[in-house]
Amino acid sequence: MKQNSLKIILGSSSIYRAKLLSKYVSDFESIAPEINETEYKGESPQDLSMRLAKTKARKIAESNPQDIVIGSDQVVSFKNKNIGKKTDYESAYQTIIKFSGEKIYFYTGVVIVIKESKIELEHLDKTIIEFKSFGRKELEIYLNSQEIFDSTAAVKYESKKFQLLIKQIITEDKQAIIGLPMNWVMKQLKKIELDKI
C-alpha cells in the first residue's frame, strides 16, 4: 500500500508486528507506547487485549493527532487464565508443555485512531490453536530452534518446528497470531485512504 498524505504509526515496540506490517505498508513509523500493561483483577482476555490496544493507540495519537495510529495487543488464554510473554527457555518450556493435547485461545485486539478526525476503529480477533499430544522431546526441538524468547506464551507460529506441535488452527486470519490481524487492518486503511481522496 502506498502512502498519500497521512502518515501511519504503529504503536508498538514489537519487531514481529513491524515486520508483518512492512509486508503491506511501505512507509510507517514504529513508536513504543510505554504503557502499564498490568491486567485488572478478573479482567477477561478479550477485555484486556482491547483495553491495551486502545490505550496504546490513544497515547500515541495524543502527540500525533493528524496521523493514522495503529495500536494492538495480544493475550493468550489457557484454561481461563491469561498468559503473557515468556522471556526465557525454562518459562517457555513450563508454559508450553501444559498445552499438549489442549487448546489455547489467542485474542488480538487492534485499534486504529486518527484523533484529529475523531476516527476510532476497533477489532478483536479470536484464534484457537489445538495442539497434538506431544512430549518433552518434541517441545525441545522447537525451543532449541529459538534464539530469543519474547513472544506471548512463547508461541512463534511462523516457526516450522512450532507448527509440528499443532493439530489444527481455527482462525479468520492466521497473521493475527503473529500480532496483527492484517486482513482487517488493510481493509480499514484502504477505506481511510479512499475517504481522504
Dump pLDDT digits (tens) for 139-168: 999 999 999 998 889 999 889 999 999 999
Cβ atoms of 123 and 54 within 8 Å: the answer is no
CATH number, domain with residue 154 = 3.90.950.10
**pLDDT for 5:** 62
pLDDT digits (tens, 9 = 90+) for 32-73: 998 988 899 989 999 999 999 999 999 999 999 999 999 999
Q: Please give the average per-residue pLDDT across 106-111, as a whole number.
A: 96
pTM of the model as a whole: 0.89
Task: Tell me whether residue 35 is in a domain.
Answer: yes
Instruction: For helices 136-144 and 89-96, give the axis angle rounded to 10 degrees.
Output: 140
Sole residue written with cell 476497533:
122
Q: Is 73 a catalytic residue?
A: yes
Angle at 115 between CA 9 and CA 172, to 5 degrees: 60
Does residue 186 fall inside a structural domain?
yes
Q: Provide the pLDDT confidence category of residue 13 given band limits of 50, 70 and 90.
A: confident
2 within a domain of the structure (yes/no): no
Query: Worst-scoring range by mean pLDDT, 7-16, 130-139, 167-176, 186-195?
Result: 186-195
pLDDT value for 89: 96
Handedness of CA 9, 14, 20, 23 (dihedral sign): positive
Predicted pLDDT of residue 196: 58
How far is CA 109 from its chain centroid? Answer: 7
C-alpha span between 140 and 156 (Å, rounded)? 14
Domain with 183 in it: 8-196
Examine residue 32 and state whether it is found in any structural domain, yes or no.
yes
Amino acid (1-letter code) at residue 178: I
Q: Does residue 1 lie within any of the structural domains?
A: no
Number of structural domains found in the chain? 1
What pLDDT sits at residue 6?
82
Residue 100 in domain: yes
Task: Determine, yes or no, domain membership for 3.
Answer: no
Q: Is the pLDDT of residue 2 over 90?
A: no
> Would 76 be classed as within a structural domain?
yes
In 3D, which of 15, 51, 24 has the Cα closest to residue 148? 15
- Determine the average pLDDT of the residues in 11-17: 91
Cα dihedral 194→171→107→89 (10° resolution):
-120
Query: Of 27, 47, 67, 73, which residue is the catalytic one?
Result: 73
Rounded Cα gap, residues 184 and 177, in angstroms: 14
